[in-house]
Structure 1
């Protein structure tokens, strides 16, 4: 089962995080924006539309009813479903976006295989996540029991994500990174750098 419970119970708290950590959010958004190509896109695990809406991604897949309701108010057309079983025809989209989604899926391998299926030839997958070996990734893992969301999460390293993507058939990798401090300490938009290994938030782009 998709890890929907905390997003149903704490939807308001989820939204407040983005207000409280606004500059962290904008930094992550900028990193994702660098990787998102032109064309018809879909966000998988769209949540409340915090990324899809400003990136002008019209479609999303989301299992949480409360998250889907908020995303629809932001103008995102939401399909109910999970990353492992996308309610989408094969070879439909130019790109598929995952943002802090992979740590909540039940099967990352199946999720990436499904993304591969729905992408057109040479379509791109963009995956944004907190690297488990980064300062923020370590902090979240050490404090999992204190957070209603991350207690359900499974974190991955960038190397692990790349390996799963390769197994699903993806190639031609590009990397971007940002968030170089803990969110409570960030008081301005942070830079986005190429590569990975410094920033806690990593965006991996790959091609079908």
Structure 2
């Protein structure tokens, strides 16, 4: 697993950024809504707290951070702990795959 300590320790700060910068979040979400079709089964790789997955119709999210996945689960996302390099799904499982900017180390 990658280093997840910052995301485990600062989940609240991550969430607060979106509250503080709501206009930026809503602008990015609006741009993505024009590009992402909510039809079919979707997954967000690097789902984090699920801020984008839910509004964009992604049913499943995968992320290495347990704390972030807890937030995503609260938003109704089916969560899986894991990494993009080793997805626990067959190739044709999803109709849409969403990968937004993710921080890796």
1:93-141 per-residue CA deviation (whole Å, 9 max, x = no partner) reads 111001112xx24xxxxxxxxxxxxxxxxxxxxxxxxxxxxxxxxxxxx
Unpaired runs of 5+ residues, structure 1, are: 106-151, 153-208
* RMSD (Å), alpha carbons: 1.2
Cα distance, 1:48 vs. partner? Answer: 0.4
Residue in 2 aligned with 1:15? 15
Q: 2-side partners of 1:98 and 1:45: how far apart?
A: 7
Alignment of structure 1 residues 15-164 onto 2, 5 Å: 15-37=15-37, 38-101=39-102, 104-105=103-104
Q: 1-side partners of 2:49 and 2:87: how far apart?
A: 18
Q: 2-side partners of 1:54 and 1:17: how far apart?
A: 18
1:13-47 per-residue CA deviation (whole Å, 9 max, x = no partner) reads 00000000000000111111111122211000000
Alignment of structure 1 residues 145-184 onto 2, 5 Å: none
Unpaired runs of 5+ residues, structure 2, are: none
User: Given the two structures, how large is their TM-score scaled by the length of structure 1?
Assistant: 0.48
User: Given the two structures, how large is their TM-score scaled by the length of structure 2?
Assistant: 0.92
**Which protein is richer in strand relative to its size?**
1
Q: 2-side partners of 1:92 and 1:56: how far apart?
A: 15
Mark the structure with the bigger radius of gyration: 1
Cα distance, 1:81 vs. partner? Answer: 0.5
